[in-house]
Amino acid sequence: MRLSNPITKTVVLILCAALGISVGISMSASAAGPDTDLLNRAKAVFGPLPASMPSPDNPITPEKVKLGNILFWEPRISVDGTVSCAKCHPLGLYAVDGLRKAVGNRCKENPRNSPTIFNAASQISAHWIGNRTSVEDQAKQALVGPPSYGMPSYESVEKVLRGMKGYMAMFKDAFPGEKEPVTADNFAKAVGAFERTLMTPALFDEFMQGNAAALTTQQKRGLALFMDSGCMTCHSGPYLGGQMYQKFGIFEPYEKYTKSLPVDEGRSAVTKSPSDKFLFKVPVLRNVAMTQPYFHDGSVDKLTDAIAIMAKVQLAKDLTSDQLSDIAVFMSSLTGKIPDQILKVPVLPAADQP
């Protein structure tokens, strides 16, 4: 089996976790007490949430974010006038649509579940199988994606945008010096810049900043379990995920528990490599308690069920219902406060001019 280096390493780490072998980080109690120990271990694995998720290819400017925020809500550039970014990522539902699989223009079902776009722009790629390189790439390709906006071409999107006079000045401000700023590429950059600001700091971050009282006793128990059971082997970094692909179903086929139909073979559809069969991007766990249903196909409704399945198929562990509850309650500490500026509906330009 051909496996890229980081993935081999991850599998070894998971196996160690499954076998109860302590790896890397010392677990011995220190003089500072169990809270400090837990905090230090967690800091080493996760790290603090940054203020935004910049990209050298798409610097964040206030003008770009403003335009991107407006375009995020714009349905008139979809083939049936019903699809905007906000359709599959409603901000009041933590930027998920609550459906098993996303529904696009003319009620077409998308192949997978809508992931949240909060705290999501720093992942290795976009989409569950990494078939989009970045949030900008995702935004652009969505415009012509048959089950999303469904437009026939980028030119057709540009024509609609150029037909609404109100957009011209905003694109000019966001992309100064460009002769024709109203383009699909700039749509993608503006929406991407907006997405790069969608951060939701949570109680967990207060804990990471050293306030041991930010988490309840049960949440700390859940966090310790999350780390000791091996979940953190893949769900690491400030987003608790998003940094690698991983096989879903290491010890048993996932569909045995999720009852998924059809069985999705994941990333191999992108790479055409048999070794990528059943690989999916490890999802970000920020706000996971608010983003039901779970998994790439939205096949599981309850968070505790999702945790139980993950423990079973990824770590060969049977967690007790108390343990599942502890981990789920820990995960609720990842539910962030959505900043007010994210929860603002922008007023869109008029279609017609008197």
Q: Is 23 left (phi over 0), alpha (psi -120 to 50) or beta?
A: beta
Q: Which helix (H) or strand (E) holds 313?
A: helix 303-315
In whole angstroms, how close is the CB of 136 to its own copies at the nearest point? Answer: 23
Q: With respect to its own copies, which residue has the nearer C-beta, 70 or 231? A: 70
345 binds its own copies (CB under 8 A): yes
231 binds its own copies (CB under 8 A): no
Q: With respect to its own copies, which residue has the nearer C-beta, 163 or 210? A: 163
Task: Tell me which of 160, 168, 289, 316 binds its own copies, using CB under 8 A.
Answer: 289
Question: Cβ distance 36 to 30 under 8 Å?
Answer: yes
- CA atoms in the 13 A half-sphere facing the CB of 228: 15
- What DSSP state is assigned to residue 79? T
In whole angstroms, how close is the CB of 71 to its own copies at the nearest point? Answer: 11
Beta bridge mates, 300: 294
Q: Is 108 left (phi over 0), alpha (psi -120 to 50) or beta?
A: beta
Encoded one letter per residue, x for contact with its own copies by CB under 8 A and - for no contact, window 290-329 reads x-x--------xxxx--------------------x--xx
Q: With respect to its own copies, which residue has the nearer C-beta, 94 or 149? A: 94
Task: Tell me which of 3, 11, 52, 346 binds its own copies, using CB under 8 A.
Answer: 346
Task: Tell me which of 76, 162, 172, 277 binds its own copies, using CB under 8 A.
Answer: 76
160 binds its own copies (CB under 8 A): no
Residue labelled with tokens 């994941």: 266
What's the one-letter identity of residue 155? E
82 binds its own copies (CB under 8 A): yes
In whole angstroms, how close is the CB of 325 to its own copies at the nearest point? Answer: 7
Residues 84-143 within binding reach of its own copies (CB under 8 A): 90-94, 97-99, 103, 106-107
Residue 151 to residue 40: CA distance in whole angstroms: 50
73 binds its own copies (CB under 8 A): yes
Residues that contact its own copies, how many (by CB under 8 A): 42
Collapsing DSSP states into helix, strand and coil, what is residue 189? helix
Show the tokens assigned to 178. 């460009």
Show the tokens assigned to 287. 């706000």
Residue 135 to residue 137: CA distance in whole angstroms: 5
The string of DSSP codes covering 108-119 is PBPSSPPPP-TT
Nearest to 235 by CA among 331, 135, 93, 105: 331
Q: With respect to its own copies, which residue has the nearer C-beta, 133 or 304? A: 304
Q: With respect to its own copies, which residue has the nearer C-beta, 57 or 301? A: 301
Residues 6+ apart with CB under 8 A from 141: 132
Cis amide linkage into residue 262, ω under 30° from 0: yes
Using the contact rule CB under 8 A, the part of the chain among 60-68, 251-259, 289-297, 315-323 near its own copies is 289-297
In whole angstroms, how close is the CB of 92 to its own copies at the nearest point? Answer: 4
Which parts of this chain interact with its own copies (CB under 8 A)? 70, 73, 75-76, 80-82, 90-94, 97-99, 103, 106-107, 289-290, 292, 301-304, 325, 328-329, 331-332, 338, 340, 343-348, 350-352, 354
